[in-house]
Every structure is written in C-alpha cells, then in structure tokens.
Structure 1
Amino acid sequence: MDMHVQALRGGQKRTPLNRSQIVGFWGAWGGWTLDGMDSFIYALVLAPALTELLPKSGYAATPANVGLAGSILFALFLVGWGLSFIWGPLADRFGRTKVLAGTIFTFAIFTGLSATAQSVWELGFYRFVAGIGIGGEWALAGTYVAEAWPEDRRKMGAGYLQTGYYAGFFLAAALNYTIGAHFGWRSMFLTGAVPVVMAIIVLLRVKEPERWKDREKMARKSPLAEIFRGPYRRRTVVNAALLTVAIIGLWAGAVYEPAAVTQLAIKAGMSKPDAARTASLATGILAIGTILGCLSLPPLAEKIGRKKTLAFYFLGMAAAIALSFGWAFHLEHGLWPFVAVLFMLGFFGGNFALFSLWLPEQYGTEVRATAFAFCTSVGRFIGAGVNFALGAMVLHMGSLGVPVALTSLVFVAGLLIIPFALETHGKTLPS
C-alpha cells in the first residue's frame, strides 16, 4: 500500500507540499479561475455586445436575432473547446507546465482581442480561438495537480482546483456589476487579457511533475491511439459520454441563467440596469453554491465511491434544472424562487470536480493528459450542437423555460451510463 495512504489512514500528518507544488497549484487554480471568468463574460455581455455588432454586420438587433446570433456564436465557442483535445498529446509529449501556459496565453490574448471586434463575425472568430485555449486549461490543470501532489492530498486537491472555475463566475459577475456597468461590454473582454501574466508565471516558476519526467524517458507511442486500445477503450467511451452529460447540463443552466434572471427582473418591474445587477448577484449565488459543491464532493467520493457520488450529483442537477427553468421561471412572481433554486443548481453543478479526481485515476502517465483532454472535448462538440438546437427552440417557442428545462432529461440518461464506468475508490494514481 502507498506510504501516503498508510499515513493518512493512520491519522498521521499529511505530506507537506513543497514550493513548486504550491506555486504550481495556484498557477493552475488561477488559470482555471480566469478561465471560468472568461467563459462567463460572454453570457453576461451577450445582449449589449450583439445589440451593437448586429447592425454593423447588416442585421437588425431584434431580440430574435440577438438570441439566434448568440446561440451560433456560443456554438462556435464550444466547437473551439472541442478542438482543445490537441493540447493533450502536446502535454504528454512536451510537458504539463509548458503546454498549460500555452493554453492560458491563447485564451487570454483572444479574449482581449474580442474587445476590438467590429462585427459579429470578428467576435465569433475571437471566441472560437479563445475556446481552444480555455478547453485545454481544465485538462492540463487537472492532470498537473493529480501528478504533482502527493497521494494523500491529490483527491482533495481536485476539489480545490475545480472551485477556481466557479470563482471565475463570481469574479465575472463582480466585474460586470462594476466595470461592465460603467464602461460597457468591451471593457469586460479587456479584463480577460489579464491571464497572460499567469501564463508567464506558470512557465517560469513551476517544475514538471516527477511522474511525467520518468515517463519522458520511455519509448514513445501515439497517446491518442493508446486510449482506444486494451482496457482504456471502454473507459474512454464511458468517460466521454458522462462528460457530455455534464457539459450539456452545465451550459444549459449556467449560460441561460443571466438572461433568465434579467427577464424575470424586468417582469418584476425593475429597470434594465437594475435587472443587469440582479443577474450579476444571481450569478454570484450560483458560483457560491458550486464552490461548496466542489469542496463537498471529494470527501463524499472517498466515503461512498466515485460512481455513487456522480449519481447523487446527477440526480441533483436533474431536479435543480427542472425546478428552476421548468417551475420557478413560469411563476407570476418567479424571480426570487428562481434565484433561490440557483444555489441548488450551483451545488450540484460541482459534479465537475469528480472528473478532475476520477479521470487521472483511470489512465497511466503516458496518456493521462490526452485522455483527459479527449473526453472533455467530445462533450463540447455535442454540447455545441445541443446549444444551437436550444437556441432554435427558444426562438421558436419565444421562451427560455421549457427548452432549458428539458435538458434535465440528459442527466437521467447519464444515470444509465454510470454503471458502466470504472470504480477507482481506494486505488492510488497509476504510474
């Protein structure tokens, strides 16, 4: 049995982290935080950005056109996320920290460039390339923490890491409440260029995990081909399916949340500026709930196992989406019931923390980053198609409620997939 596991079970003090592990974690967490901020900036500034850019692109800025263009641009963003699987083989070949810095640099630069867009097409291109960078950051940050941290800290580290993304939601909401409200949507995208500094820190200050250095000396194989061979094949297919469920549900609930709150606030008699601020506050509640969900997940996964924990969170997500968009959204005075349910939606949205813990446990070091990046990318491609279909349904039905509420059924399907997954409870990270 691993010495760190023995120490933990024996009640001994946990293995201390060295300077490189601490700096590396904060670099990964900071990148993931700014990643979440960057992702959610788009949802918060969607309406004002497209209201300005659609006329410049030759289209009327009607609510229907804003909704359709927003769905198309977000689908492009998710396609960029899907293409982020290219970072995995690069990280398995050239190292975790160098490629992690490259992902941060990419999404930061192109988010900043989004502030200069003069047409819908320019904005779509910048968001597409930013998506390629953002999508790679999660896989590489999760792989780095799993490999660099000692075994008795690795699992909780995955929960800590995942909080960064949702802290980014909270940061985006705070920036929108202050900078965005006073200086407009372009200023929000400019703040997304800040992670360039984080990329430089990651590149210069953090050492590669020893696990990767040891594997670097071995004979090289194609990691993308390896994850579809032998015992990895079934794991890869099942993991990709489960992540597809999680991604569809996350984006359906989180992306449409600001628009839903804004509509409910205006319906309640608020002015547009007050409605925008209420949407920012609601996003903060969603983010706080998700951070708590992320922190609660690792201990639960250690107690009852990975598969049962995911089933619990998937059931919670199905209920939360149905209650928020299927019930509260349609009430005569639904604003505050909707906001209250958002906390529940946020908590169970913390299911993503499980994948940061679970996926690295299912693959060897030589293919770990590739497997993580591939499994997350598949879901983003499918999520892009679902998001486009949701936009068309919203346009056809004239309401967000029912189309988004229907995505709760995806989590029911996810419950049927979980039994086919590999349970790794009680096992250490493979070499």
Structure 2
Amino acid sequence: MPTTVDGQTSATRAKRTPLNRSQITGFWGAWAGWTLDGMDSFIYALVLAPALTELLPRSGYAATPANVGLAGSILFALFLVGWGLSFIWGPLADRFGRTKVLAATIFTFAIFTGLAATAHTVWELGLYRFFAGVGIGGEWALAGTYVAEAWPEDRRKMGAGYLQTGYYAGFFLAAALNYTIGAAFGWRAMFLVGLFPVVVSIMVLLRVKETDKWERAEAVHPHVKHESPLKAIFNAQYRKRTIVAAVLLTVAIIGLWAGAVYEPSAVIQLATKAGMDKHDAARMASIATGLLSIGTIIGCLALPPMAEKIGRRKTLAVYFVGMAASIALAFGWAFYLPNGLVPFIALLFVLGFFGGNFALFSLWLPEQFETRVRATAFAFCTSVGRFFGAIVNFGIGAMVLNMKTLGVPIALTAVAFLIGLAVIPLAPETKGQELPN
C-alpha cells in the first residue's frame, strides 16, 4: 500500500523540470568530450611501457625498466604541467561563452593525441602530450560549468554526477581499446583513436546553444567584460573559497592520479609474478582498469544523493577517508602479498568507488562562484592541483627509482587525503543553495 512519503516522492519526480533538446544535446556533447578526455588521459598509462621501450633507444637511452619508469614519470609530469596551464580556458569562457571554448578544448586535445602516434623520440612524445594536456585540462572546467548553468536547478546536482561518469567511462573505453586495438596493432594505433573527439567538438560548436545564465550575465554586467576574472576570484569575496577549493582539488588529484596512473604497471608486475606471460599480463591490466572504472562510475552516481542528504563537506570527508584507506591497502599491503593479484584488483574497485569524489567538485565548485567568474574559478582551482601533481609525480618517480619498488611510494600518497580532511571544514557548505547568478 503506497504511503504519504511514497506519494510525495513520486510527485517530486513527476515535477522534475524536463530537459529541452539543446540541454540534452549539450550534455551529451560535454559527456562525450569528458569520456574521450578520460580515454585520452588513460591511453598513456596503458601504452607507457611499449611506447617508451621503442622510443628510448631512438632517443639515445637504454630501455631498462628503471629508465622506462623514470621517463614515464617525467613525461606524465609534463602532461600534468600542460594540464595545469589549461586555466587559460576559464577566462576565455567567461568572456566568449561556454560552448565555443568547450569545443576548442576538445579539438586541442584530440589533435595532439593523434600527433603522438607520429612520435619518433621520447621528446616528441612529451611535447605532444604537453599540448594534449592543455586541451584535456580545460574540458572538465568547461563541461562542468556548462552543465551546472544549462540544466534546471532541480536536476543540475545529479547532472554533475552523470557528467563525471564520462571520464571514467573513458578509462573503461581505453582499457577495451587496449585489449583489442592496442593488443593487435600497437601503441601508435591507440593514439590515433584519440583523433575521434574532433567530431564531438564540431557537434558541440554547431548544435549546442549558449547557456542562458551566461547570456544574462553578459547583458546585466557589460561593464565587467574587460575586468580580469583571475583578479576577481582573489578579491575579498572569493579569495578564501578559491584557495580552499584549489587545495582540496590538489589532494584529490595527487591521490587518484598516483593510484590510477601506476595501476596498470602494478597489475602487470603482479600478473607476471603470478606466472602470466606479457600478453596475458597486459590483458589483465586492461581488465583491472575496467573494474576500477566501473567502481568509479558507481561512486560518481552515489555521490550527489549523499551530498544532498549530509552536505558537501561531510560527503567529501567520507570519500577522502575511503581513498586514503584503499590506496594504502592496495599499494602498501596487497601489492607485497605472495599472491597479491586478486586482493589488489579487489581493492582497485574500492579505490575506484571513492575516486568518484571528483563528481563533488563538478557539483560544488559552480555553487561557490557567480556566473561572470565561474568558469575561471573552476579552471583555476582544477589547474593548481595539476601543477602540484606534476611535482609529486617527479617525487614518486625518484622514489620508485631509488627504492626499486612501486608499492610504497604510491601508498604514501594516502597522506595527502589526511591533509585534505583537515582543510575540508574551511570550505563553505552550499547544501540547499541555488546556483548563484
């Protein structure tokens, strides 16, 4: 027998504002761009060993495991620096609109990912990955800003969770491509697949309407067109919010990227230790990446309802605790077990779930800044963490080289989440508040 609560819930669902065609097309364009962004990011982790094994000798270096690890860390750090420089897209989007600049970010990372397939030396590959990073880094800020502004108030929070699943669907797609195309045709074919997002960028540019919020802000505040939005996010109104959000994103990026990027290498080592040949070990890495991605997608979808029930700060605290525990256990414990492959992969699923903490930033950051500086704030806060992530990645590479082990250096990144837990209370709680104009 239906209760009053059931009736109220059904009524609430029935009253949910329907999406128009532009909002639907815009979401799928942003989601597809974010999916292909995630695919592009993770392609590098999956093809790291074969690509560097071929390119290091052509660059004058022996393709030893130590050199592959060190070069991989350096190239990934360069990618993160490019990703960090992507804050340039935010002011452009606040000045010229969300959709055109979103399309430009997708186009940029697609072109340079495709060019990576033509690399003849490690340095060429590093250069292409740097510029791909500039494009990839901007996509999240622009996609998150677009969905927050374009979707109705009663749907935008869940929209943030839906959007964030795209990045990890990209991980899954990269793993599937590596399992098929990569295994059959090699690492260059994997980078060539990265050209596909050009189609998405054209669709976004031609078919998606600019958000009403941005257009209204432009009409109401024409005098701020030439005011620096970067300066505005550090005024008295926003300074604390900007700094705290940047610190929290730094924590998230250091932890998740350390775990996710080195996960295929760790699985390959454990699979080889378990007696698998190189081919089967590479396929096992793809399967493990798929499980990591599924866990993260579930975590992204579970997060918005939790954030609405217990608030943004408590939700992030739960996810940070989960990340710290799963990274420490996976890389500090399971990695060193005599038969650690199965428990390591099981912990990767848990790590993936709590890695869904990034969905909170897609929901939370737009709520903290008004429309005229929203894209700039989003892009800046996400970019700062990438610069620090690059520094930490250099440190991880050096530790791996000196300690001659992968597990302990990655496990130590769990400490970053403990720092994040101390910072969370400084952030504003925006539960129940509408997106500011």
TM-score (norm 1): 0.98
Give, in whole Å, the separation in 1 of the partners of 2:283 and 2:393.
25
Give, in whole Å, the separation in 2 of the partners of 1:159 and 1:171.
19
1:370-390 CA-partner distances (Å, limit 9, x unpaired): 000000000000000000100
**Alignment correspondent of 1:96:** 98
**Alignment correspondent of 1:374:** 380
**Alignment correspondent of 1:127:** 129
Q: Structure 1 unaligned runs (5+)?
A: 1-5
The offset of 1:12, in angstroms, is: 4.4
**Alignment correspondent of 1:139:** 141
Judged with a 3 Å threshold, the aligned counterparts in structure 2 of structure 1 residues 55 and 11 are, in CA distance, closer, same or farther, namely closer
Picking from 116, 119, 134, the partner of 1:117 is 119
The offset of 1:231, in angstroms, is: 2.0
**Alignment correspondent of 2:3:** none
What letter matches 1:26 in structure 2?
W
Give, in whole Å, the separation in 2 of the partners of 1:168 and 1:336.
24
What letter matches 1:285 in structure 2?
L
- Point out 4+ residue stretches in structure 1 off by more than 4 angstroms: 6-12
The offset of 1:329, in angstroms, is: 0.1
**Alignment correspondent of 1:208:** 210
Percent identity between the two aligned chains: 78
The offset of 1:16, in angstroms, is: 0.3
Contact residue 147 and residue 211 of structure 1 kept, 8 A:
yes
Contact residue 247 and residue 379 of structure 1 kept, 8 A:
yes
**Alignment correspondent of 2:365:** 359
What letter matches 2:180 in structure 1?
T
**Alignment correspondent of 1:3:** none
**Alignment correspondent of 1:184:** 186
Contact residue 73 and residue 124 of structure 1 kept, 8 A:
yes
Contact residue 249 and residue 407 of structure 1 kept, 8 A:
yes
Give, in whole Å, the separation in 2 of the partners of 1:400 and 1:139.
32
Picking from 306, 309, 317, the partner of 2:315 is 309
Give, in whole Å, the separation in 2 of the partners of 1:39 and 1:388.
18
Alignment of 1:12-411 (within 5 A): 12-217=14-219, 218=221, 219-220=223-224, 221-411=227-417
1:61-103 CA-partner distances (Å, limit 9, x unpaired): 0111100000000000000000000000000000100000000
Root mean square deviation of aligned Cα: 1.1
TM-score (norm 2): 0.96
Give, in whole Å, the separation in 2 of the partners of 1:223 and 1:288.
37
1:276-330 CA-partner distances (Å, limit 9, x unpaired): 0000000000000000000000000000000000000000000000110010000
Give, in whole Å, the separation in 2 of the partners of 1:93 and 1:11.
36
Contact residue 7 and residue 14 of structure 1 kept, 8 A:
no
What's the secondary structure of 1:270's corresponding residue? coil
What letter matches 1:405 in structure 2?
A
Give, in whole Å, the separation in 1 of the partners of 2:233 and 2:13.
37
1:141-192 CA-partner distances (Å, limit 9, x unpaired): 0000000000000000000000000000000000000000000000000000
What letter matches 2:215 in structure 1?
K
Q: Structure 2 unaligned runs (5+)?
A: 1-7
Contact residue 23 and residue 206 of structure 1 kept, 8 A:
yes
